[in-house]
Structure formats: C-alpha cells, structure tokens
Amino acid sequence: MDWVDGFYSRTGRWWGAAEGRITERDHHRVDLLHEHAGTGPLRVLELGPGYGTTAVVTAQAGHDVTAVEISDRADRARGFVTEAAPGTLTVIKDDFFRVRLDGRFDVVTYFNGFGVGSDADQRRLLTRIATEWLRPGGVALIDVYNPFVWAGWHDNEEHRMPDPARGYEHELHERTTFDPVTCAAIDTWWDVTRPDEKITQVLRCYTPADLALLLGGTGLHLKAFTVGDRTLTPGPQPGLAELLAEHHEYLAVLRTG
Ligand SMILES: C[S@@+](CC[C@H](N)C(=O)[O-])C[C@H]1O[C@@H](n2cnc3c(N)ncnc32)[C@H](O)[C@@H]1O
C-alpha cells in the first residue's frame, strides 16, 4: 500500500482544482446516508474523504463529521471546515489503519476507495470499523468496486487534454488493465511531459458474494447494497444489468447485527 499517499497526493495536484468542488454526487451520497441511517443528527466517520466535498455536505445536513485522509488532499478538505454549519467537520490527516479516534460513530462511510491492499488489509479495516468505531446498531456504508465492469475496461487507454477553464491543467494518459486472477483493476496514469514518472493504483474488486465471504469474522454483515438507484438484498438476481454492465461500484450496507 506504499503507493497510496503518493498516488492520491500527485493526482490531487493534477486535478484537485477541478474535482475539489461540491457536486450532485455529494448530495446523492448524503441522501443515501439518510436512507440507510436516518436523518439524525448523526456522528459520522468518513474514511478516505479525498477533497472533503461529501464530508462538508454531510456536515451541512446537520451531522458531526470526522474525516480521515492520508494524502495531501486533506489540505483541501480542511478548507471546507469553516463551511460545515450547522454540523461540524474535523479533518485528520492520517492513515486509517493507524489512527486513534475518540468515541463511537453512528455511521462509518468510505466512498470510492475500498479495495486497496490485500484481503487481509480489507479485513483489518472492516474489523476496526466493527469493533472500534461503529456504535451498536450503527451502519457502515462502503463503495465496493464491481469486477464485471472493471473487467470490461481491460486494455482501455485514454488521452486527456488539458482544460484549464475547468481546472484541468495537465495533459494525461490513463491505461487500465484487469487481472482476473487477483480480481484487481490496475490503473496507471502519466503526465505527457514526464512519461517516465508513471503512477499506478491497484484496486481489488469484489462481487457482493465475495464481499460477504470477506466479511466473515469481521463482525460486519452485508445487509443490502445500492447500485444505480436500486437498493437490493444480496440474494440471487440472475441477469442483474446494474452489476453485469452498468456501474463500476456499488454501495454496500453493512451492520454489526
Ligand atoms: C479514490 S479516492 C476517493 C476520494 C473520495 N472518497 C471521493 O469519493 O471523492 C480514495 C481516497 O482514500 C484515501 N485513502 C486511501 N487509503 C487511505 C488510508 N489508509 N488512510 C486514509 N486515507 C486513505 C486516498 O488518499 C484517497 O483520497
């Protein structure tokens, strides 16, 4: 996992100005939080918040949010702290595998990031959520990368031109491959002016069935998942287009009981 801080700090410098802005996606996530956890006010722990846009919208909905971000994106997230009312936003620049936090949370969220490191690492994180952070009866909402769609992107290459008006200053290449043995997406980026400085993220993908296996012994259970605009239970659903073809991630709803 040594690549994490470097990858997200560097990409944050490339496109933070463009993507560190609140969008509909942040409001949609808060709607999902309310759907699965109620409207509160709640004590929320957001893992890997990136630029903090969802964290601040969560706080603006009246919740007290603690956000733990390892990369320099935390510096941008801190810029939102003064905009958090009527809730509060605390940004901690640290590694969520090591950080020590006070008290329990009604909700733990991790949007668009779960799947870094080995299965043992994911289980370590899930166990921390269940035993150290979540209050009894609380809920964890975790986006999980969907292998069916990532596999379909195998061998994709993209060339992205700068668009300074939108905050994209760099001309970039992206190459995506998929490893069907380890069920991981391998996503490599480079700036055309520095082709020798490629950076890569490796993202483990899990079907809902595999996620349920991963959860065994962690104290968390998969109760439902939201994909697209549907919330489903994790029973058999042959031909489910949302997972087979349409969405590269789904939101897992995890509870301790
Ligand atoms: C793909 S980004 C998504 C950011 C944000 N959640 C969003 O949806 O825009 C994943 C984020 O998780 C953070 N992250 C990954 N591993 C982490 C760790 N061990 N501790 C804290 N943050 C971590 C990364 O630095 C990155 O900002």
Paired strand residues for 47: 68, 110
**Distance between CA atoms of 142 and 167, rounded to whole angstroms?**
28
What pLDDT score was predicted for residue 140?
98
Q: Where are the domains of the chain?
A: 3-145+206-255, 149-202
What pLDDT score was predicted for residue 164?
92
How confident is the model over 152-181, as pLDDT tens digits?
A: 999 999 999 999 999 899 999 999 999 999
Which atom of ligand 1 is the closest one to the Cα of 99? 20
What pLDDT score was predicted for residue 198?
95
For residues 113-120, give the mean pLDDT: 97
For residues 48-60, give the mean pLDDT: 98
**Distance between CA atoms of 62 and 175, rounded to whole angstroms?**
40
For residues 138-158, give the mean pLDDT: 98
Mean pLDDT, the chain, whole residue set: 97
Q: Which of 8, 111, 144, 202 to mutate to test the pocket of ligand 1 (most atoms within 8 A of CB)?
A: 8
**Distance between CA atoms of 66 and 121, rounded to whole angstroms?**
22
Task: Name which of 96, 91, 94 is nearest 80 in CA terms.
Answer: 91
What pLDDT score was predicted for residue 123?
98
pLDDT above 90 for 112 = yes
Name which CATH class applies to 3-145+206-255: alpha beta
Q: Which two tokens stand for residue 53?
A: 């846009």
Separation of CA 103 and ligand 1 centre (Å)? 22
Cβ(50) to ligand 1 under 6 A?
A: yes
What pLDDT score was predicted for residue 212?
98
pLDDT above 90 for 129 = yes
In 70-183, which ranges are E strands? Answer: 88-93, 105-114, 134-145, 156-160, 172-179
Cβ(130) to ligand 1 under 6 A?
A: no
CB-side exposure of 81: number of CA atoms within 13 Å? 10
Angle of helix 53-60 relative to helix 24-37, nearest 10 degrees, comes to: 60
What pLDDT score was predicted for residue 45?
98
Q: Whose CA is nearest to atom 27 of ligand 1?
A: 50
What pLDDT score was predicted for residue 223?
98
pLDDT above 90 for 1 = no
Which atom of ligand 1 is the closest one to the Cα of 46? 6
Separation of CA 62 and ligand 1 centre (Å)? 23
How confident is the model over 64-87, as pLDDT tens digits?
A: 999 999 999 999 999 999 999 999
Using pLDDT thresholds of 50, 70 and 90, give the confidence band for residue 257.
confident
For residues 44-60, give the mean pLDDT: 98
Q: Which two tokens stand for residue 177?
A: 């491959």
